[in-house]
Amino acid sequence: MTKFPPLVIPDTLAAGPGPGNTDPRVLAAFNNSGIADHMHPDVVRGMQESKVMLRELFGTKNTYTYGIAGTGWSGLDSLHSAIQPGDKVVAFNNGTFSGIDCHTIRMKASMPDDFAADPMHPKPANVAVIEVAHGTSVTGQMVDEALAGSGAMWAAMTHWETGSGRINDIQGFSDACVKHGVMGLVDSVSSLGIEDFNTDDYPGVVGWASCPQKGVLALPLTYAPVTFTDAYINVVAKRGCANFVNHPILNARHWSIVDGEDVATAGYHQTHSCYAVASFHEALRIILEYGRSKKAADYAFHESVLTEAVTAMGCKVTSNMTSLVVLNLPEALAGREKELVQDCRAAGFGIWPTLSEPVQIRIGILNQLSEDAISDIVGRFADAMKDKGAGDIDKNAILAQVKLRFNNVK
Ligand SMILES: *Cc1c(COP(=O)(O)O)cnc(C)c1O
């Protein structure tokens, strides 16, 4: 028999695009949950209350607002499952994650011949992928031009592209979808719980999917929030979809949503973990207590302090997300990004490189909204750059400027 010692996973500073450091209250909720089963009234009530809180977080009146068990891709699998083989889709790719969304969409929209030609990466002619350069945002004009005369049924875009740290134009996307009669599908994995927005303000978008471990900060594998408008649900109700577990309508039964209505009792769909329900519920309570708009403003402020600090170290920031800074090292250190990231990670400072070309460094601030946390990140990054030979960095002056920025808002 193979015998391993007990697994010990170190506590690191999660300072990347996600997952973010889990709030102790979320972990306590996980630990303190009993082992009631997935039809126990308190577990079901936890799901019903979470559904109500999710509607507030998304800013929507959509009845079909709930969580898909798993990670971001689980929710996106549900979102994209309304796409059937042969459907015409226009999808925008400006980084790692929208690239995977486009991959998923090509699979959903493929006919058997498309799979036969390339089983893992089918390229059906009915899916047009608009390639937008890394580090560039998708603009409303790009969407308008791509949708004009396309005859597409669906358009797909990532709200915040975490690969390159770019915010795409959601207003322009929604407007273009309305103008051209196309149904918009949006990956909001990196924006929900960080940006202050109401999905109901974007009528061109019929479905949104997010994830547990970024803005929502409920890592202990919980739920990917999703919300679907009636227009989306009607398509699935009429045409069906080839998905049981993440089926947009069937999955909702366990969240007490049946025939477009909230109902009093849940219907079994899959086993839900009492631990997941308790921790997800607590994470939503924390965000709503903090306040969506205050959280968005706090992310913007803390990101601006971090950006100013790394700029003072000679780095060039190319992102505009408020939870993540994507940067190029100064000329003298160019090409050493991966090495620097590896050293930081080995020391428990969990920053990331980009996962697709070009190689850049990503530093995230999920759940790091305090002067101590930002100073710690800035200090560790300055040390890492100095170790690599960036001798001219004045770490003390940079930390003093961080302190000044926080003093100015006290
Ligand atoms: C992180 C991320 C995903 C994937 O989420 P997982 O939780 O890893 O499944 C998808 N899209 C975007 C925009 C992301 O940032």
The tens place of each residue's pLDDT in the chain, 410 residues long, gives 899 999 999 999 999 999 998 999 999 999 999 988 999 999 999 999 999 999 999 999 999 999 999 999 999 999 999 999 999 999 999 999 999 999 999 999 999 999 999 999 999 999 999 999 999 999 999 999 999 999 999 999 999 999 999 999 999 999 999 999 999 999 999 999 999 999 999 999 999 999 999 999 998 889 999 999 999 999 999 999 999 999 999 999 999 999 999 999 999 999 999 999 999 999 999 999 999 999 999 999 999 999 999 999 999 999 999 999 999 999 999 999 999 999 999 999 999 999 988 999 999 999 999 999 999 999 999 999 999 998 899 999 999 999 999 999 98
Look at residue 15 in the predicted model and tell me its pLDDT. 96
Name the closest-CA residue to atom 14, ligand 1.
189
Which of 211, 217, 324 has most ligand 1 atoms within 8 Å of CB, for mutation?
Answer: 211
Q: Which amino acid is at 327?
A: L
What are the tokens at 108?
A: 């959903």
| End-to-end CA gap in the chain | 60
pLDDT value at residue 267: 96
Beta strands in 241-291 (DSSP E): 257-258, 261-262
Q: Whose CA is nearest to atom 8 of ligand 1?
A: 72
- CA 26 / ligand 1 centre spacing (Å): 20
Position 90: which residue type? Answer: V
CA 398 / ligand 1 centre spacing (Å): 32
Quick check: 218 and 287 in contact, CB under 8 A? no
Determine if residue 86 is left, alpha or beta; phi over 0 gives left, psi from -120 to 50 gives alpha, anything else beta.
left
Q: What angle do CA 400, 18, 290 make, to 5 degrees?
A: 70
Q: Kind and range of the H or E element at 334?
A: none
Bridge partners (DSSP) listed for residue 158: 187
Query: 361 - beta bridge partners?
Result: 327, 353
Structure tokens at 27: 């972990």
Q: What is the pLDDT of residues 155-173, one digit of tens each?
A: 999 999 999 999 999 999 9
The pTM for the full model equals: 0.97
Q: What is the atom index within ligand 1 of the atom nearest the CA of 158?
A: 13
Taking the centre of ligand 1 as the mean of its atom positions, its distance from the CA of residue 224, in whole angstroms, is 10
The backbone region for 90, taken as left when phi is positive above 0, alpha when psi lies in -120 to 50, beta otherwise, is beta
Q: Is 397 exposed, middle or buried (0-12, 13-18, 19+ CB in 10 A)?
A: exposed
Alpha-carbon span 322 to 214, nearest angstrom? 12
Model pLDDT, residue 244: 98
> Strand, coil or helix: what is 120?
coil
Within 6 A (CB) of ligand 1 lie 18, 71-73, 97, 158, 162, 187, 189-190, 211, 213
CA gap 281, 225 in Å, rounded: 12
Q: Is the dihedral of CA 140, 146, 150, 151 positive or negative?
A: negative
Amino acid, single-letter form, for residue 185 = L
The answer to whether 205 and 225 have CB atoms below 8 angstroms apart is no
Give the ligand 1 atom nearest the CA of 162.
Answer: 15
Domains and CATH numbers, the chain: 25-288 (3.40.640.10), 292-407 (3.90.1150.10)
Question: 339 alpha carbon to ligand 1 midpoint, in Å?
Answer: 24
105 Cα to the center of ligand 1, angstroms: 15
Paired tokens of 205: 């978008």
pLDDT at 410: 84
Q: What is the pLDDT of residue 220?
A: 83
User: In angstroms, rounded to a whole number, what is the distance separating the alpha carbons of residues 271 and 274?
Assistant: 9
Place of tokens 């170790």: 387
Residue among 94, 104, 90, 203 nearest 156 (CA): 90
Q: How far is CA 220 from the centre of its chain?
A: 16
CB burial of residue 399 (10 Å; 0-12, 13-18, 19+): middle
Distance from C-alpha of 61 to C-alpha of 372, rounded to nearest angstrom:
38
For the chain, what's the residue count?
A: 410
Closest Cα to residue 308, out of 327, 294, 291? 327
